[in-house]
Every structure is written in C-alpha cells, then in structure tokens.
Amino acid sequence: MTRTALVTGASSGLGAEFARQLAARGADVVLVARDREALAAVADGIRAVSRSRVEILPADLLDDDDRAAVEARLAQGVDVLVNNAGFGLDLAFEKNDVADEVRHLRLHVGVAMRLVHAALPAMLERGGGRIVNVASVAGFVPRGTYGAVKGWLISFSRWANVTYAPRGVTVTAVCPGFVHTNFHERLGLPPGEEGVPPGMWLDAETVVREGLRDAARGRAVSIPSWRYKLLVAASGLLPDATVVRAASRGR
C-alpha cells in the first residue's frame, strides 16, 4: 500500500530532502511551504525520478486560514508527518524585535503542536503512523530562544512517543547540528561567515537518512553523527556557563 507523507518547510533544505527521500522509498508526498514556485520546482524534481504522486499545498503556517487548510489535509489521513518548517533568529535576544520572537515561538511550538494534533486522530484510528519533528542539538543546551523552542519539541516528542507508540504511532525528534542548507543564508550569513568549524558541518542527505532510519526504529530522539552525540552527552556534565559560551560559537 502506498503511503502518504506531508512535509512542512518542503521548498528547500531539510524539508525538500525529506520529501525526496520519502518519495524514493515509495511514498506519495504533500509539500507545504509559503513559496509556490519553489514547491513546484521541488515537486518537478521528485516527479522526474520517481513514480510518487506529489501534491503541493502553499501555505503560510502563521496565517490562521492557511494553517487550517494544512490541518484539514492532515485530518484526511497521512501516514507520515514531518514538522520541519522553521527559521532562526540572532542570539542577541535583547536586540531582536519581540514580534519576531513571538512568530518564532508560534511556528516552532504552536504550529508544530497543532499539526501533530490534527494528524493523530486518523493515525490512531488506523493504528499506524510516524511523526517526525525536526528539532536540533540546540534543544539540549542553553542557546537562546532557538534552543528553547527546540527543547520543547524534544520533550514533547519523547512524551508522545511513549504515549502513542503502543497504539502504532511513533514520534521522533530529529536533532541535527549545523547542516549545509540555506538556513544560515536566511539569517543573512553568507557561506563561510557562520563561525562554524568545518568539521562540525553535516549534509542534509545524511541527516535525513539517519533521521528516517531512527523513526522507522521507533526512537524518540535521533541525533545524526557520533560527534554531536558526544557533544550532547558532554553538555549534560558541564556547568551552564561553559555550555553557553561553547554554544554561542557559530550562528
């Protein structure tokens, strides 16, 4: 039976890569993002190399009407939900526009929660489904409001996985470190100016492949690469001041 996966933030970066890899595994995909033209380009690329059906659903998830349309599509039933939509802000919280901070909080927490809530009933009724929440290793360390919202996603995913896995629905927080996508460019940082050592970069293909593998195994948390697994483990043993200083390197 062909599965259907809905991916948010699917116009580029990790979202587009999730869509490509899910389609390569035989799933039909529903692509959600604000940019219709970018979604169409991703859809054309998937259709060129697979037989999967591709549906585009342009939506600004911070717009109530647009988000409601996505929630309605989820309520119809999907097998996989990938909550990937998001954006970053400068670590200087005191300098950021508070309206941007509120949008940041709403998208990463409020919207993700609402989409999971919309997808769950049909999954539970069917007795199967996978939910992937794209979080970050920043969620394990004190790193501004970005770390805070990703920490919520990780905690929620751990709880939801324990609660719903016995009923056939697994929930996995995928927690990459720095990934080569357009995420930093959207922060206004040209390549090479992110302040990240070369050895700390991951590629989107590996992050998604490992994340989907861990989701298939029913794991609540996926941290791609051993170097980030070790960093997360070490951060729990160090004083907050030390961890904050280390985590503030790079944007």
Output the pLDDT for position 91. 82
Output the pLDDT for position 18. 98
The answer to whether residue 198 scores a pLDDT higher than 90 is: no
Output the pLDDT for position 194. 46
Single pTM value for the model: 0.87
SS3 202: strand
Query: Mean pLDDT highest for which of 123-127, 135-139, 193-197, 227-231?
Result: 123-127
Counting residues of the chain whose pLDDT is more than 70, the rounded percentage is: 82
Output the pLDDT for position 235. 63
Instruction: Give yes or no: 228 in active site.
Output: no
Average pLDDT over residues 223-232: 76
In terms of Cβ atoms closer than 10 Å to its own Cβ (0-12, 13-18, 19+), residue 101 is: middle
The answer to whether residue 227 scores a pLDDT higher than 80 is: no
- CATH code linked to domain 4-247: 3.40.50.720
Output the pLDDT for position 247. 52
Output the pLDDT for position 246. 53
Contacts of residue 250, Cβ cutoff 8 Å, sequence gap at least 6: 178, 194, 195, 196, 200
Residue 193 banded pLDDT, cuts 50, 70, 90? very low
The answer to whether residue 176 scores a pLDDT higher than 50 is: yes
pLDDT 10s digits, 121-142: 999 999 999 999 999 998 888 7
Output the pLDDT for position 225. 78
Mean pLDDT over the full length of the chain: 88
Q: How many alpha carbons fall within 13 Å on the CB side of residue 28?
A: 11
Q: In angstroms, rounded to a whole number, what is the distance separating the alpha carbons of residues 39 and 41?
A: 5
Contacts of residue 172, Cβ cutoff 8 Å, sequence gap at least 6: 130, 131, 132, 133, 157, 161, 211, 214, 215, 218, 219, 220, 221, 222
pLDDT 10s digits, 12-64: 999 999 999 999 999 999 999 999 999 999 999 999 999 999 999 999 999 99
CB-CB contact of 54 with 22 (8 Å): no
Output the pLDDT for position 230. 77
Q: In angstroms, rounded to a whole number, what is the distance separating the alpha carbons of residues 96 and 77?
A: 38
Which one is predicted more confidently, 181 or 141? 141
Considering 140, 146, 156, 178, which one is annotated as catalytic?
146
Picking from 32, 37, 34, 36, the residue whose alpha carbon sits closest to that of residue 16 is 32
How do 80-83 and 178-180 pair as beta strands? Answer: unpaired
